[in-house]
Amino acid sequence: MTVYFDNAATTRVDPRVTELMVKIMNEDYGNPSSKYIMGLTAENYIKEAKERIASSLKVKPSEIVFTSGGTESDNMALIGTAMARKKRGKHIISCNIEHAAIYKTLEFLEKEGFEISFIGVDEKGHVDLEELKRTVRPDTILVSMMYVNNEIGAIEPIAEASRIVKSINPDCYFHTDAIQAYGKLTIRPKKEGIDLLSVSSHKIHGPKGVGFIYINEKVRIEPIIFGGGQQKDMRSGTENVPGIAGLGLAAELYSKNHEEYIKRILAVKDRLTERLEKIEGVKLNSLKGEESAPQIVSASFEGVRAEVLLHALEDKGVYVSSGSACSSNHPAISGTLKAIGVKKELLDSTLRFSFGIFNEPGEADYCSDCIEELLPVLRKYTRK
């Protein structure tokens, strides 16, 4: 039995998406900038994708710019804002549980002379809004706050945070890394005061190597990639037409089937949560049901090293990740788990289970059975 419980790392592409992409690669492979009919056909795929995405967020198609994925979108939001607004101020605010795509970009900006403040989180992983209120200044040009944390699934109070920021400094831009949130939660940038929003395609059963950034039409940022002037100069480079079309369809499928998909994913989460709770020495870091993201369960296993349990589960056909897959190449302990105050001895004992539309509650049972079987054995053989 194979159980893929690592959908926060990446997902299986929906077969309908694959089919569309293959058709485009085989038949409609024109360059959207070409003047003949093939160019127009390609351009229309991009237009359609933009419309599909715009409708899922209730924004305008012209506010969507396609990128190579979440990391580029995050880079563009941060560097693009910094470049466009450095004369107004050099202060940027973020929080201490962000993804490396945000952290590392801010590190770069810090070297370029920007001042960065990080807001802390509570034990549930929610940002401290009081601290945010105290940190916003007249020269703050950008606040960047993730929508859903990738390691524990905490949902941040984005609308509330944006309201606070804008009430103090109406000129400040608000960016959210919505890579784990898009599709899973209903997001309305206009209502929630979001100016910039990053999304990746491969977390919603779309292909890798593509994503988008929503840029509110009232907001001006600089491009970070230069060339042939595609996408109204905001992101040069021949558009990844099959990828963009695939993302568009994946977005539409998620949006049209939202209720059904979330119900399905939540059923898996609830089953796994319920089972794990009953096992001795297991501590859940994610919240139950819809209090945290529907697709993520984080749990710490006393007396077991995460990597060993992970490989033991692998042996049973169950694929999960330790911490966040994006950072698992570095044995460095997760910043998020530390930030929410997970006990030191459990930091290295934490696994993340994440679900997609192809999972079923039965798989959560199989996974739990495996864990129940493995834990006593693994606990017996530990370093003394």
Partner 1 sequence: MRYHSFLIKYAEIGTKGKNRYIFEDALIHQIKQHLKKVEGEFAVVKEQGRIYVNAKSDYDYDEVVEALKKVFGIVGICPMTQLADEGYEKLRQEIVKFIDEEYPDKHFTFKVRAKRTNKHYPVTSDEINADVGYDILTAFPETKVDVRNPEVMIHIEIRQQINVYSKTIKGAGGMPIGTNGKAMLLLSGGIDSPVAGYMIAKRGVMIEAVYFHAPPYTSERAKQKVVDLAKAVAGYSGPIKLHVVNFTEIQLYIYEQCPHDELTIIMRRYMMRIAERIAEETGCIGLITGESIGQVASQTMFSLQVTNEVCTLPVYRPVIGFDKQEIVDVAENIGTFETSILPYEDCCTIFVAKHPVTKPNINVIKKSETKLAEKIDEMMDTAVKTREEIICS
List 172, 326, 367, 370, catalytic entry:
326
With contacts defined by CB under 8 A, name the span among 129-137, 185-193, 307-315, 346-354 that binds partner 1. Answer: 307-315
Nearer to partner 1, 167 or 382 (CB): 382
Give the nearer residue to partner 1 in terms of CB position, either 3 or 76.
3
Q: Measured from the CB of residue 113, what is the shortest distance to partner 1 in angstroms?
A: 34
Q: Report whether 249 contacts 17 (CB < 8 A).
A: yes
Q: How far apart are CA 121 and CA 32, in angstroms?
A: 45
Stretch that binds partner 1, among 1-9, 120-128, 224-232, 326-334 (CB under 8 A): 326-334
Answer for the pair 223, 262: CB distance below 8 angstroms, yes or no.
no
Question: Considering beta carbons, is residue 155 or 312 the nearer one to partner 1?
Answer: 312
Nearer to partner 1, 160 or 302 (CB): 302
- Does position 87 bind partner 1 by CB under 8 A? no
Cβ at position 372, least distance to partner 1 in Å? 16
Residue 164 CB partners (closer than 8 Å, separation 6+)? 129, 132, 133, 136
Tell which one of 291, 315, 345, 369 touches partner 1 (CB under 8 A).
Answer: 315
- The C-alpha atoms of residue 110 and residue 115 are separated, in whole angstroms, by 6
Cβ 253 to partner 1 shortest distance, Å:
33
Q: How many CA atoms lie within 13 A of 312 on its CB side?
A: 20
State yes or no: is 370 an active-site residue: no
Based on the shown chain and the rule CB under 8 A, indicate whether residue 159 belongs to the binding site for partner 1: no
Binding residue for partner 1 (CB under 8 A) from 123, 130, 314, 369?
314
209 closest CA partner among 184, 182, 239, 252: 239
**Structure tokens of 263?**
């119900």
Query: Does residue 347 belong to the site contacting partner 1 (CB under 8 A)?
Result: no
Q: In this structure, is the dihedral angle defined by the CA atoms of residues 267, 268, 271 and 276, taken in order, positive or negative?
A: negative
Q: Does 331 bind partner 1 (CB under 8 A)?
A: yes
Q: Does 2 bind partner 1 (CB under 8 A)?
A: no
Given the complex with partner 1, which of 185 and 308 has the nearer CB atom? 308
Asked if residue 330 binds partner 1 (CB under 8 A), the reply is yes
Part in contact with partner 1 (CB under 8 A); list of ranges 71-79, 208-216, 312-320, 334-342: 312-320
Question: Which positions touch partner 1 (CB under 8 A)?
Answer: 307-315, 329-331, 381-384
Catalytic positions, written as ranges: 326
